[in-house]
């Protein structure tokens, strides 16, 4: 339930952090690691494709799987939660969007300077020298489930180009983590959307915000336990975010 006091806190906030996880993009049809994959991909464990060792052992298998995911993202559209978050930027003095998602749906909805803690499917780089590589954003035919696709080669060192996401066992990007941590410690309202807070170190951010006295709100379709100091809004991200903005700011245009 969105209380009048919670709506007032958002309305009067000077700095709001929006922290999103897979649940924020689920309504756009973005498959997550926990979804049942289709076709031949059912034979693979996504977690075992998301490591540097797995890529080096079978580059075409890993690259094909990530290209499948990238094309799924390119075919998806931002949902009401993404648009509400972008709208929030015009309602508060300062908004910082920090996401664990590797898609670009926040940007396509209009959010600026999104902090990507887990990298992006659209920012590949050389696995050897780290040089950035540009991919076409055009959504061509979707790679078939199980397709092996030879990765591009780096123009600088001829090494394989790898997906620009954070794999298991890798550190979060230092710059993104520093920005996210500072924002969590400086904000007065922290909205955690579509994440159950079990993936560390990212899950530390709401705890940091709470420790500094911020109002922390969790939005998720599935109930999970939060402390008595936190708020929980149960429901789809799009519905709850649009309702929260209406309660705090009155009618607003959300695409």
Catalytically active residues, by annotation: 118
Name which of 49, 24, 29 is nearest 221 in CA terms.
24
Q: What are phi and psi of 123, to 5 degrees?
A: -130, 60
Tell me the C-alpha to C-alpha distance, in Å, between residue 179 and each of 71, 120, 194, 203, 211: 29, 17, 20, 15, 17
Contact 47, 169 (CB under 8 A): no
Per the structure block, which two tokens stand in for 157?
């060192």
What residues have CB less than 8 Å from 213, skipping those under 6 apart?
188
141: its two tokens: 């035919």
Nearest partner of 70 among 94, 111, 103, 114, judged by Cα: 103
- Whether 162 and 128 have beta carbons less than 8 Å apart is answered as no
- 3-class DSSP assignment, residue 63: helix
């Amino acid at each position: 339930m969105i209380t009048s006091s919670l709506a007032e806190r958002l309305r009067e906030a000077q700095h709001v952090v929006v922290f999103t996880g897979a649940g924020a993009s689920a309504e756009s049809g973005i498959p997550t690691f926990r979804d049942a994959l289709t076709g031949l991909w059912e034979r693979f464990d996504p977690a075992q494709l998301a490591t540097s060792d797995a890529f080096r052992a079978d580059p075409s298998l890993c690259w094909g799987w990530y290209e499948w995911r990238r094309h799924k993202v390119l075919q998806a559209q931002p949902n009401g939660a993404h648009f509400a978050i972008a709208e929030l930027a015009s309602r508060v003095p300062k908004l910082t969007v920090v996401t664990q998602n590797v898609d670009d749906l926040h940007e396509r909805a209009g959010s600026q300077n999104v902090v990507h803690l887990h990298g992006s499917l659209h920012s590949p780089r050389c696995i050897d020298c780290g040089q950035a590589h540009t991919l076409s954003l055009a959504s061509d035919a979707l790679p078939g489930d199980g397709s092996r696709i030879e990765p591009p080669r780096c123009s600088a060192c001829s090494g394989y180009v790898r997906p620009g996401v954070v794999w298991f066992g890798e550190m979060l990007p230092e710059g993104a983590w520093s920005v996210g941590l500072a924002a969590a410690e400086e904000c007065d309202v922290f909205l955690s959307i579509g994440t159950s807070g079990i993936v560390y170190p990212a899950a530390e951010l709401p705890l940091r915000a709470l420790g500094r006295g911020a109002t922390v709100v969790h939005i998720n379709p599935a109930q999970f336990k939060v402390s008595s100091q936190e708020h929980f809004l149960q429901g789809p991200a799009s519905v709850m975010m649009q309702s929260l903005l209406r309660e705090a700011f009155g009618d607003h245009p959300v695409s």
